[in-house]
Chain A
Amino acid sequence: MKPFGKAVLLAIAIVLAPGLDWSFVTRTPPRTWHYPSAFFYISTFIPPEFEPAIDEAATTWNAAGAAWFFTPASFAIDAQYGVRDGLSVIDYTTPSDPTIPGETSVFTSGDDAEIVEVDTALNPSLPLSTGFDPNSYDVQSVSTHELGHWLELLHSQNPGDVMFERIDKGQIKRDLSSDDIEGIQFLYPPAVETVKRVAGKPVTR
């Protein structure tokens, strides 16, 4: 489908969205990546035991049935959180709010229409772990949430969603809720389902 056609369908879907029972949150209109895929780099400062959890978080979004794909790149020594350097990275550095386990910054074109780079910081000042530790934040859960921001999903108000605004220590939220899936499928609709969505019918999963 031509870009103009996609834009028109997306605009119609946005108008219809308030009437539907969705709790995912995004911008109006949402910004989009130029390609429906993003390479993500893992900073060499990330503890090696975190890497499988981060990869698994990306896989979770890839399996959500949307026209989107995270592509693991490689380790990036020079990529930094919060710096426009052409590399979308998951870094291990204290975020601008030091009290949150993860934070994501989105770089866009000057007209704020197209996403060109996204960086995530996992906070080394807070306890993070890959096990089921009640005293730590779960790396995979935090990573899944932050990668949702890469897709332009904002904070949900439904505590059951991965995209809920807050996570507690020991809380495991590695699987997407139906709202999370509706969100990514809304933003990156599978081509064959676009017409159904615009008509306001339920999406077939």
Chain B
Amino acid sequence: MTWKCCIVIFLVLFFLASPVRVLGSTEKSELSPEQAALAKKLGVNPNPLIPQFRYRSVADQTWLSPWVVEGTVERIDEDLYGPYHTKVRVKALRYLKGAGPHEITLNVLDGRFYSEYDKKIMRVDTVGSLTFSSGDVDGRFILFLDKHALSPRGRETHYEHGEGEFRTANRYRVVDDHAEPDPGIAEAGSPGAKRYSYQEIVAEILRVAVPQSQISKGTP
């Protein structure tokens, strides 16, 4: 009887502990041996979380982004009632990685919104977040995109991105045949702060995106 109790307690503890281990392991990426070998060959760090995305090299950013798009910002709309308060409408000139529609929307949480709590228009800003302003309209950008959504507990479905909608993980503005890093990255020494020639950044993106797509058919 005692042994049976011990076994039951062990099994209960084991299953209780399992989710903790899974949560704790989210920092580590799960790559196939082929993907890991390619990452090593290309010289990229495949860990999705460390270091912070916008400070990483373009090669790392490309590896980690399902979509890399070159496009022009056509207009910026505000959405007072939706979960994303700023909608950046972009005409995709070409997908350097992944595939998608020509007209896409970049969802930004920041902006003015109607607050049910206050019963009036309020504003929210996330410190250090990547935002677009009227000065970006007509600007040409290289955009590193994903579908990550802020998911407050119990509201998971509320913040999902729709068809043709993305989150901008980082951007470079193309000016006079150069790709300028986002001005929000002030740490001069970080790889993410590097300024590229247009040809150089496109070549770097394709250097990673093309072989990566060849070993991961079926995923963007």
Interface residue ranges, A against B (CB under 8 Å): 45, 80-86, 93-100, 103-110, 112, 116, 124-127, 149, 154-155, 157, 165-166, 168-169
**Does A97 contact B129, Cβ atoms closer than 8 Å?**
yes
| Chain A residues, CB < 8 A from B150 | 82, 94-96
| Chain A residues, CB < 8 A from B129 | 96-97, 103
| Chain B residues, CB < 8 A from A125 | 26-27, 49
Minimum CB–CB distance from A87 to chain B (whole Å) comes to 10
**Does A154 contact B153, Cβ atoms closer than 8 Å?**
no
Q: Evaluate whether A96 and B152 lie within 8 angstroms (CB atoms) in the complex, with A155-B186, A165-B187 already known.
A: no
Q: How far is the CA of A155 from the CA of B54 in the complex (A)?
A: 15
| Chain A residues, CB < 8 A from B122 | 84, 107-110, 116
Q: Evaluate whether A45 and B153 lie within 8 angstroms (CB atoms) in the complex, with A110-B120, A157-B187, A169-B50 already known.
A: yes
Which of A99, A100, A127 has the most chain B CB within a 10 Å cutoff? A99
Question: Which of A84, A85, A99 is B50 in contact with, Cβ under 8 Å?
Answer: A99
Q: B118 at interface (Cβ–Cβ under 8 A)? A: yes
Minimum CB–CB distance from A103 to chain B (whole Å) comes to 6
**Does B115 contact A84, Cβ atoms closer than 8 Å?**
yes
**Does A166 contact B52, Cβ atoms closer than 8 Å?**
yes
Which of B117, B121, B125, B127 has the most chain A CB within a 10 Å cutoff? B127
**Does A80 contact B153, Cβ atoms closer than 8 Å?**
yes
Q: B126 at interface (Cβ–Cβ under 8 A)? A: yes
Question: Which of A94, A99, A109 is B151 in contact with, Cβ under 8 Å?
Answer: A94
Flag B94-138 by CB within 8 Å of A: 1 or 0 each. 000000000000000100110101101111111111000000000
Q: B40 at interface (Cβ–Cβ under 8 A)? A: no
**Does A107 contact B124, Cβ atoms closer than 8 Å?**
yes
Q: B23 at interface (Cβ–Cβ under 8 A)? A: yes
**Does A96 contact B126, Cβ atoms closer than 8 Å?**
yes
Question: Which of B123, B167, B187 is A112 in contact with, Cβ under 8 Å?
Answer: B123
Closest-by-CB residue of A relative to B189 is A159
Q: How far is the CA of A196 from the CA of B131 in the complex (A)?
A: 37
Q: How far is the CA of A100 from the CA of B153 in the complex (A)?
A: 19
| Chain B residues, CB < 8 A from A165 | 128, 185-187
Closest-by-CB residue of B relative to A100 is B52
| Chain A residues, CB < 8 A from B152 | 80-83, 93
Question: Which of A45, A104, A110 is B123 in contact with, Cβ under 8 Å?
Answer: A110
Minimum CB–CB distance from B133 to chain A (whole Å) comes to 13
Minimum CB–CB distance from B181 to chain A (whole Å) comes to 13
Q: Evaluate whether A105 and B124 lie within 8 angstroms (CB atoms) in the complex, with A45-B153, A84-B115, A96-B109 already known.
A: yes
Q: How far is the CA of A130 from the CA of B150 in the complex (A)?
A: 25
Q: List 16 A-B contacts (CB under 8 A).
A: A82-B150, A84-B117, A84-B118, A85-B117, A96-B109, A96-B129, A97-B129, A97-B169, A99-B50, A105-B109, A105-B126, A106-B124, A106-B127, A116-B118, A126-B50, A154-B127
Q: How far is the CA of A45 from the CA of B27 in the complex (A)?
A: 19
Interface set, chain B 1-40, CB cutoff 8 A to A:
23, 26-27
| Chain A residues, CB < 8 A from B63 | none
| Chain A residues, CB < 8 A from B55 | 166
| Chain A residues, CB < 8 A from B26 | 125
